[in-house]
Amino acid sequence: MRYLFVLTILILPRLALSQDWEDEQLFGPENPGQTLRIISSTDTSFFEPIISGFLQANPRIAINYFVTSTAQIDATIRRDPAAFDVVISSAMDLQFKLVNDGYAMKLDDINHPDWAQWRRSLFGFTTEPAAIVLNRQAFSNHTIPQTRQELIQAMRARPEIFRNRLGTYDVRESGLGYLFATQDARTSETFWRLMEVMGSLGLNLYCCSGDMIDDLIAGKILVAYNVLGSYAAARKDDDKILEIILPADFPTTMMRSGFASSHTMLPETAEAFMRYLVNVQVETNNRSGFPLPPLNPVKDIESRSTISLSPALMTYLDALKKKNFLQEWENAVLQ
C-alpha cells in the first residue's frame, strides 16, 4: 500500500455543505481517473480494509467514503439518487425499499446465493446478530442471563442496580434499531415485556452502536440491548469488561447490504466494487485484517434467524404501521 495514502479531507465538498457526515474520507491516488462515492452506515474503520483491497486492484480509482445514519442514507438517496454510486447500509428494510422503488442497478454478473440477494440488485454481505452486551462488573456475583426472559428476571431482581443504567437504540432515529425492534416484536411478546421493564427502570436511548458501547465500557450503562455484536467484538481490548450474549431464545440476525445506484455515472466501477465486496465477504477463511463479519455461507433456514430479503420488510416501513409501532414503543419505553 505504498502508493496509497489516506486523506482526511478538510475541503468541503458540495454535499458536506448541506449534510453533517459522521465521517468522510478519501482513499486512493492524488489524481484518480475516477472517484467512486460510497454512502454507508458502516464505520470507516470496518470498511477500510475492503476499500484498500479494491483500490490495490484498481489503482486508477479513488473512493470517497461517507458515513451517516441509515435514515439519512435513505433520505439522501431518495432526494438525490445520482449523488452516490454505491449505497451500504445495515437497515435492511430501508435498503430493500430503495431497491424496490427502483434506486438500484441490476448487477447480473455477480454470483451470490439467492437468499442473500434480491433482484440481483441488493446484496447482503455480512451476517450479524443483534446482541445483548453487558458490563461484567454488574454481574460479578450473579449468573449472566442468556435469554431475554433471564434478563428481565435479572433486572427485576436488582432494580436499584440497573435503574437508568440500561441502553438501547432510539428506534425513532436509528433505522437498524427500528429493524431489530420490529423483528423482535414480530417474533415474540417477550420484546414488549422487556421494553416495559427497561422503560420502567429508565432507558438511555442511542442513535448508534458505537456510542452505546462507549458508555458500556465507561460504566455509564450496564446493559445494552440489541447492539451489533460485531461492534462490541471489535473492542477486543475491552474484552474483560464486556460480555456479548446472543440471546438463546431467539436471535435476530441481519445482513448488511449494499447496492449500486441506478443513477450512478460510474456503473462499471460501482459494479466492480460491489463484486469485490461480495467476494471478500463470502470468503470465510483467512479473515484477519477484515473486522467486518463475513456472510454465513449457509442460511440458517431452520431457525429463521436471519431476516429475509423479502417484500415483508416493507411492512413496518408503512406510515400507518410505523406510527402504530412507535406509539406502542414510546408507551412502553418512555413511561
> For residues 27 and 33, what is the distance between their CA atoms, to the nearest angstrom?
13
34 binds another protein (CB under 8 A): no
Nearer to another protein, 218 or 312 (CB): 312
Give min distance, CB of 280 to another protein, in A.
24
Does 312 engage in binding with another protein (CB under 8 A)? yes
73 vs 122 by CB, closer to another protein: 122
In which element (H, E) is residue 122 found? strand 122-124
Quick check: helix, strand or coil at residue 244? strand
Task: Look at the block and give the residue holding cell 436511548.
Answer: 205
SS3 85: coil
The SS3 assignment for 89 reads strand
Helices (H), 107-248: 148-157, 159-162, 175-187, 190-201, 209-218, 229-234
* Residues 98-117: x where in contact with another protein by CB under 8 A, - otherwise, as a string: --xxx---------------
Among 148, 144, 329, 332, CA closest to 225: 148
Least distance from another protein to the Cβ atom of residue 106, Å = 10
- Considering only residues 231 to 260 of the shown chain, the ones binding another protein according to CB under 8 A are none
Q: Establish if 318 lies at the interface with another protein (CB under 8 A).
A: yes
Instruction: Report if residue 321 touches another protein, rule: CB under 8 A.
Output: yes
Q: Is 186 in the site for another protein (CB under 8 A)?
A: yes
User: Alpha-carbon distance 52 to 290, whole Å?
Assistant: 11
Rounded to the nearest 10 degrees, the angle between the axes of helix 175-187 and helix 190-201 is 130
Instruction: Report the residue number, 16 or 312, with the smaller CB distance to another protein.
Output: 312
Site string for another protein, 112-151 (x = CB under 8 A): ------xxx-------------------------------
List of residues contacting another protein (CB under 8 A): 100-102, 118-120, 186, 308-315, 318-321, 324
